[in-house]
Amino acid sequence: MTLSDIDRAAVLRAITEFDQLGRDAFLHQYGFGRSLLYFLRHDGKLYDSKAIIGVAHGYSGSNRSALAATQFAGGEATVAQTLRGLGFQVQVSAGPPARASLGNVSPDGYAFWWVNNKQTYAHEIGGNYLWSPTEKSDGGRNEFYENMKRVRPGDVVFAFASGEIRAVGICSAPAILAPKPGEFGAAGDAWGSEGWRVPVEFTRLSTPLRPKDHMDVLAPTLPEKYSPNRPDGNGNQGAYLAPVPIEMARAMIDLLGSRWAEVDRGATVEPAHQQETIEASEEQVEQELRNRTDLDETEKLQLVNSRRGQGIYRQNLLGLEMACRLTGVANLRHLRASHIKPWRASTTFEKLNGNNGLLLSPHIDHLFDQGFISFADDGALLVSPEADVDTLILWGIEPEGNYGHFRPEQLPYLTFHREFVFKR
């Protein structure tokens, strides 16, 4: 078996099957995960490159079958080189998302997490959320707090308290910046007043799972760095939200047995439900802004208006952006002042900073806000594999276009958008 057996006609047949089945069904049928870096571009559409090559092998001869993902390596030297040699274009992503290197993302794109929340378990599980500070008390970076930004809708969270996995939750919306919950009381005295809040719909297990009783199975699967648990089965002091490697997640699910079926993954993964949760989260942030006593009424109004692209935020943006980068429309009546780093995840300063914005036509704002498109630092358009390229073309968007360089002050916001909003 070599990839050199594959010809262009076989790749085209694999592409046709991909189009007929749809992305998720195609990947599931052949056991491949979603591409993170390398995508085959054909007729304006993006395809998961390794999966296409694996399936194409089955079309390359009468006695050949599709290759499994474990039978060959992906990447530049194998899949990308093969496709280019057959005359296809390979698009390299702007870089793997921050969580791609954590090893906790399943083939269907969902990640597994472990939260140690003994102090706040009752409040968080009862309120269906996670909350952590954004940084250490000394202002330093905390990797377990950084993970809050990496959680995506549909991700699984194992809740560990008092030595037991007592609940399992499904994330229903991305993280937002929110004040420390008042119900924490003395439990949160050492934490800052603002932090990351992630909506999670928890299910309390009928019978808790005690990991310490199963460390013969779990210990070999613990990550070497930023582990949620110690080899003796006790929680890792200082670890709040930690990634659960796929091998460990499988072991956890096996140990849960029938209790895994108690976890409801239904509505939380539906796009409509996710959008409703995001909007509810933003409404909550807006209400908390209105209730703040450290801001005067003018400041509150400016921050609230910025959510809808109005007020001083729009004025700040107009001094920097002149038109929609993709459509060229310059009539301000038909443009939205869109945040690059979402309003819900922005600090007070970032909510009003014109460098954290773009003027976009309404349909472009939809694509950007939902993560169907993003931009490289040099202005190259990035198109999500989940985007309908036919729709983009009908809207006059050139999927391979470049839409101008960005100012240095915009780049940190674009990095956030690529890592935490863009759908890969």
In the chain, how many H helices and how many E strands?
Answer: 15, 14
Domain boundary among 25, 59, 92: 92
- Rounded Cα distance between 313 and 319, Å, is 10
Predicted pLDDT at 92: 72
Residue 286 resides in a domain: no
CA angle 400, 364, 404 (to 5 degrees): 50
Residues 86 and 124 in one domain: no
Residues 313 and 391 in one domain: yes
CA distance 389 to 42: 11
Quote the percentage of the chain above a pLDDT of 90: 49
Count the domains in the chain: 3
Determine, yes or no, domain membership for 276: no
Q: Above pLDDT 70, what percent of the chain?
A: 94
Residue 309, CA atoms < 13 Å, CB-side half-sphere = 21
- Residue 360 pLDDT: 97
> Do residues 85 and 140 share a domain?
no
Q: How many angstroms separate the CA atoms of 364 and 258, rounded?
A: 45
The residue range of the domain holding 305 is: 292-420
Q: Residue 289: what pLDDT?
A: 73
Assigned domain for 43 exists: yes
Residue at which a domain ends, from 238, 269, 300:
269
Does some domain include residue 284?
Answer: no
Least confident of 6-15, 269-278, 331-340, 392-401: 269-278
Residue 13 has pLDDT above 60, yes or no: yes
pLDDT at 406 over 50: yes
pTM of the model: 0.70
Q: What is the model's pLDDT at position 43?
A: 80
Question: 277 near 172, Cβ under 8 Å?
Answer: yes
Quickly count: other Cβ atoms within 10 Å of residue 184's Cβ.
15
Question: Last residue of some domain: 234, 269, 304?
Answer: 269
The residue with greater pLDDT, 207 or 193, is 207
The pLDDT of residue 270 is 64
Please tell me the total number of residues recorded for the chain in this structure: 424
Picking from 314, 336, 333, the residue whose alpha carbon sits closest to that of residue 324 is: 336
Among 99, 416, 98, 424, CA closest to 243? 99
- Give yes or no: residues 193 and 80 share one domain: no
Note whether 118 and 79 are same-domain residues: no
Does pLDDT of 100 surpass 70?
no
The reply to whether 257 and 168 lie within a common domain is: yes
Q: Label the pairing between strands 373-375 and 381-383.
A: antiparallel
Burial of residue 66 (CB within 10 Å: 0-12, 13-18, 19+) is buried
Tell whether 333 is covered by a domain: yes
Give residue 101's pLDDT: 64
The answer to whether 148 and 162 are in contact (CB under 8 A) is no
Give pLDDT, residue 268: 57
| pLDDT reported for residue 358 | 97
Q: What is the CATH number of the domain that holds 110?
A: 3.10.590.10
Structure confidence by residue, pLDDT tens digits, 106-128: 766 788 999 998 889 999 999 99
3-class secondary structure, 102: helix
Task: Tell me: do 112 and 256 sit in the same domain.
Answer: yes
pLDDT (0 to 100) of residue 96: 46
CA separation for the pair 257, 37 (Å, rounded): 35
Q: Where is pLDDT greater, at 232 or 289?
A: 232
pLDDT at 196 over 70: yes
CA–CA separation, 361 vs 333, rounded Å? 10
**112 and 219 inside one domain:** yes
Question: What are the phi and psi torsion angles at 255 (to 5°)?
Answer: -70, -35
Is the same domain home to 108 and 152? yes
pLDDT reading at 414 higher than 70: yes
pLDDT band of residue 385 (cuts 50, 70, 90) is confident
pLDDT of 58 higher than 90? yes
- Amino acid identity at 315: Q
The three-state secondary structure class of 347 is: coil
* Same structural domain, 74 and 112: no
Tell me, yes or no, whether 279 lies in a domain.
no
Q: What integer pLDDT is reported at residue 264 of this predicted model?
A: 72
Confidence check: pLDDT of 48 > 80? yes
pLDDT tens-digit series, residues 136-156 = 888 888 999 999 999 988 899
Do 312 and 390 lie in one domain? The reply is: yes
In a domain, 280, yes or no: no
Residue 132: band (very low, low, confident or very high) from pLDDT cuts 50, 70, 90: very high
Does one domain contain both 168 and 250? yes
What is the average pLDDT value for the chain, to the nearest integer?
Answer: 87
Calpha distance 235→361 (Å, rounded): 49
pLDDT given at position 1: 64
Q: Is residue 282 part of a domain?
A: no
pLDDT tens per residue across span 296-336: 888 878 887 887 778 888 999 998 999 999 999 999 999 99
Residue 169 dihedral angles phi and psi, to the nearest 5°? -125, 160
The CB density around residue 137, as the number of other CB atoms within 10 Å, is 10
Q: What is the DSSP letter of 19?
A: H
